[in-house]
């Protein structure tokens, strides 16, 4: 996608120094556009954990490049042990986004029997590049399939924009490119279908207000940022035609973990008969589990993310300020699980399916 007319992805190899990975450091968006150089596996782990980059597919790509950096810095003797240690380190950085574990498992399989460090470096770099290219294509295809749903809604109300509500940021900055939930939105906008996006601010880290709004603005998509509590009211008044969200981990039976607050939107959507779609590439499925509420690990983040809020002062400084009484405890579950029965459909790179095991496995028969 483009920023100020210049095309970017979220992560890439430094053009003149292949031992450096560059990322868009999302902590400062929308107020500052910063590119960060990452030179070690440890630094990549910090970037994932402290959310310099975030969003499940983007985290998966970062983990893949983290393994490449680990291979570069591994000792010649004992490189396999070093790679295993670093994969364990990366694996624990963000527990809910399954793309991370899926990427590490896939590259680790390719490293089995690898004869030397030089080959390990090649395997990891090729894997990271291919995984990123595949992820971009999958997200593009999610847009192609999701566009059909938006077209149908538009056909029923040709003179008005299609109003879509989204939560958190499942846009191109949460992936390598295109986004998941936003991919059909960009596809519709590019096809000339009038869309308008209700952007949940998404407390506590405000990925909607900061990042989704930034993306949509850069792409020229009409949107309105709303406090997290407004969606239900808008739905009751016919102001939302559909909800599309992303996912950090979806089970083989269609239970969806996504940013905290998604479940409440799904309940409101059900009560108001608003279609609730989840868009995800197959890297965000966890085919090993069924019961999302019982089995998906929910990341608990620092309480400070709730009690402090970041913004730009009139003089242009980016500051964090205390929101709550100094002595009030706060709590920060980062994700919740929306049970499959609240999901109208799952938009994947292979097409759209119902949120149940038979329908999901019909699209992904290799996981039967
Ligand atoms: O904590 P974050 O910002 O990594 O959470 C991101 C989300 O919840 C996204 O909706 C999800 O990763 C889907 S990304 C395309």
Domain boundary among 134, 165, 192: 134
How confident is the model over 342-364, as pLDDT tens digits?
Answer: 999 999 999 999 999 999 999 99
CA distance 324 to 117: 51
Question: Residues 39, 173: one domain?
Answer: no
Q: 299: CA distance to ligand 1 center in Å?
A: 12
pLDDT for the residue 35: 98
Tell me: do 77 and 97 sit in the same domain.
yes
Instruction: Provide the CATH number for the domain around residue 51.
Output: 1.20.120.420
105 and 171 co-located in one domain? no
Each residue's pLDDT tens digit, 172-193: 999 999 999 999 999 999 999 9
CA separation for the pair 293, 250 (Å, rounded): 11
- Is the domain of 316 the same as that of 287? yes
Nearest atom in ligand 1 to the alpha carbon of residue 211 is 3
pLDDT of res. 247: 98
So what's the pLDDT on residue 119? 98
Same domain, 164 and 260: yes
CATH code (residue 273): 3.40.50.10470
106/188 same-domain check: no
Instruction: For ligand 1, say whether the CB of 258 is within 6 Å of any of its atoms.
Output: yes
Q: Are residues 158 and 81 in the same domain?
A: no
CA distance 308 to 172: 26
Residue-range definition of the domain harbouring residue 104: 2-134
User: How are beta strands 6-7 and 11-13 bridged, if at all?
Assistant: unpaired
Q: Find the mean pLDDT for residues 284-304.
A: 98
Phi, psi of 279 (to 5 degrees): -110, 125
In the structure, what pLDDT confidence band is assigned to residue 293 with cuts at 50, 70 and 90?
A: very high
CB 361 within 8 A of CB 367: yes
The predicted model gives 274-285 an average pLDDT of 98
**Ligand 1 touching residue 283 (CB < 6 A):** no
Cβ-contact 50, 18 below 8 angstroms: no
Encode pLDDT of 126-155 as tens digits: 999 999 999 999 999 999 999 999 999 999
Among 134, 169, 198, which residue terminates a domain? 134
Please indicate whether residue 248 is annotated as part of the active site: yes
pLDDT value, residue 133: 98
3-state secondary structure 64-133: HHHHHHHHHHCCCCCHHHHHHHHHHHHHCCCCCCHHHHHHHHHHHHHHCCCCCHHHHHHHHHHHHHHHHH
Instruction: Please check whether residues 219 and 118 belong to one and the same domain.
Output: no
Please check whether residues 195 and 255 belong to one and the same domain.
yes
Nearest residue to 69 (alpha-carbon basis) of 28, 27, 17, 113: 17
Strands (E), 209-299: 223-226, 242-245, 249-251, 256-259, 276-279, 285-286
Residue 217: partners with Cβ closer than 8 Å, 6 or more residues away: 30, 223
Asked if 53 and 123 sit in the same domain, the reply is yes
Ligand 1 pocket member 55 (CB < 6 A): yes
Structural domain count, the chain: 2
Orientation angle between helical segments 98-111 and 79-91, nearest 10 degrees: 170
* Rounded CA Rg of the chain: 20
pLDDT over 90, % of the chain: 99
Confidence of residue 218 (pLDDT cuts 50, 70, 90): very high
pTM of the model: 0.97
- 86 contacts 68 by C-beta, under 8 angstroms: no
Dist. CA 305–CA 308, nearest whole Å: 6
Percent of residues, the chain, with pLDDT higher than 70: 100
Same domain, 297 and 360: yes
pLDDT for 354 equals: 98
Q: How far is the CA of 271 from the centre of ligand 1 (A)?
A: 25
The catalytically annotated residue of 177, 228, 241, 248 is 248
99 and 156 in a single domain? The answer is no
143, 349 Cβ separation under 8 angstroms: no
CA dihedral 13, 15, 17, 21 (to 10 degrees): -20
Of 7, 57, 4, 12, whose CA–CA distance to 29 is shortest?
Answer: 4
Q: What does pLDDT average to over the chain?
A: 98
Q: What is the pLDDT of residues 84-101, one digit of tens each?
A: 999 999 999 999 999 999
* pLDDT of the residue at 63: 98
Task: Out of 134, 153, 169, pick the residue that ends a domain.
Answer: 134
């Amino acid at each position: 996608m483009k920023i100020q007319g210049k095309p970017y992805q979220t992560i890439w190899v430094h053009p003149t120094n292949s031992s450096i990975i560059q990322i868009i450091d999302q902590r400062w968006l929308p107020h500052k556009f910063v590119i960060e150089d990452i030179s070690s596996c440890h630094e990549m782990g910090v970037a994932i954990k402290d959310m310099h980059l975030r969003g499940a597919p983007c985290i998966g790509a970062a983990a893949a490049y983290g393994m490449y950096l680990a291979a570069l810095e591994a000792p010649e003797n004992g490189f396999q042990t070093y790679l295993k240690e670093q994969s364990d380190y990366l694996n624990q950085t963000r527990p809910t986004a399954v793309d991370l574990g899926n990427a590490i498992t896939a590259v680790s399989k390719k490293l089995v029997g690898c004869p030397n460090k030089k080959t390990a470096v090649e395997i990891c770099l090729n894997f990271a590049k291919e995984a990123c290219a595949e992820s971009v294509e999958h997200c593009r295809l999610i847009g192609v399939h999701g566009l059909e749903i938006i077209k149908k809604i538009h056909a029923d109300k040709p003179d008005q924009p299609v109003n879509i509500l989204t939560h958190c940021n499942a846009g191109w900055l949460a992936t390598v490119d295109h986004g998941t939930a936003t991919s059909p939105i960009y596809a519709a906008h590019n096809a000339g279908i009038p869309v308008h996006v209700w952007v949940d601010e998404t407390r506590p880290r405000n990925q909607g207000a900061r990042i989704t709004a930034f993306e949509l603005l850069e792409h020229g998509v009409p949107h309105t940022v709303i406090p997290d509590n407004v969606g239900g009211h808008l739905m009751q008044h016919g102001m939302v035609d559909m909800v599309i969200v992303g996912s950090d981990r979806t089970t083989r039976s269609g239970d969806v973990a996504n940013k905290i607050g998604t479940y409440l939107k799904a309940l409101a959507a059900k009560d108001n008969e608003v279609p609730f779609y989840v868009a995800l590439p197959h890297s965000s499925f966890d085919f090993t589990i069924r019961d999302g509420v019982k089995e998906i690990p929910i990341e608990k983040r620092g309480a400070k993310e709730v009690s402090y809020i970041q913004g730009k002062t009139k003089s242009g400084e980016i500051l964090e300020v205390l929101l709550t009484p100094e002595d009030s405890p706060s709590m920060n579950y980062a994700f919740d699980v929306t049970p499959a029965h609240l999901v109208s459909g799952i938009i994947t790179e292979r097409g759209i399916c119902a949120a149940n095991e038979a329908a999901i496995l019909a699209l992904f028969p290799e996981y039967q």
